[in-house]
Amino acid sequence: MKLYNYFRSSASYRVRIALQLKGLPYDYLPVHIAKGDHRKDDYAAVSANMLVPMLETDEGERLSQSMAIIEYLDEKHPTPALLPADAVGRARVRALAQSIACEIHPLNNLRVLKYLVRELKIDEEAKNTWYQHWVREGLEAFERQLSQLPPSTYCYGDTPTLADCCLVPQIFNGRRFKVNFDGLPRTMAAFEACMALEAFQKAQPSACPDNEP
């Protein structure tokens, strides 16, 4: 398999975690979105939406969107499972994952932040305030969801799931923008439990070959 991705991309990071958890080898193909590599003709010929990540399977199929890619990997390589066996459990995990992937991340990804600065002329401090506000508000909602679930080591249960694949990259990026994580005990406990695992450590941005200072 080949994974077109960017080391700081939260969506790319999610897929790297899933690949590591499942022990699946892949070729790491960097696409530097901060420099606009995703908009160049050679990548546009590979990725219709010109976004990362994009997974090329062993059969040559090209898959986009991190959540779809991870669920594909989970169906194709079911052990260890990233979704619970029961329908309610799967719905709970998907809801947690989508709270980050659909509610928090879209407001704060790189192209949105660049639009705020370049088109709306927002200064750096205001941009960071925007980021901190929406991430904090989203994580507070995430914490409320966790508080209604039974105690667990990770976001849901005692093994990492799709929800953890989404949570860890969001916390990493939140740290870069100095988001306040106080008062989020279940959320941060799940994050720390994940980061104690080798798979999460190997997937983090500092371990990527295109990592830059």
For residue 213, tell me if it sits in a domain: no
Is residue 170's pLDDT more than 90?
yes
Q: Is the peptide bond before 185 cis (omega within 30 degrees of 0)?
A: no
**What's 38's domain CATH number?**
3.40.30.10
Q: How far is CA 183 from the centre of its chain?
A: 22
Claim to verify: residue 119 and residue 176 sit in the same structural domain: yes
Over range 135-142, report the average pLDDT.
98
pLDDT in tens, 87-111: 999 999 999 999 999 999 999 998 9
Asked whether residue 76 falls in the same domain as residue 132, the answer is no
111 and 193 together in one domain: yes
* Tens digit of each residue's pLDDT (9 = 90 or more) over 14-44: 999 999 999 999 999 999 998 999 999 999 9
Q: Which two tokens stand for residue 1?
A: 């398999």
Is residue 106, in this structure, part of any structural domain at all?
yes
State the total domains in the chain. Answer: 2
What is the per-residue pLDDT for 179?
97
Counting DSSP H helices and E strands in the chain, the numbers are 9, 4
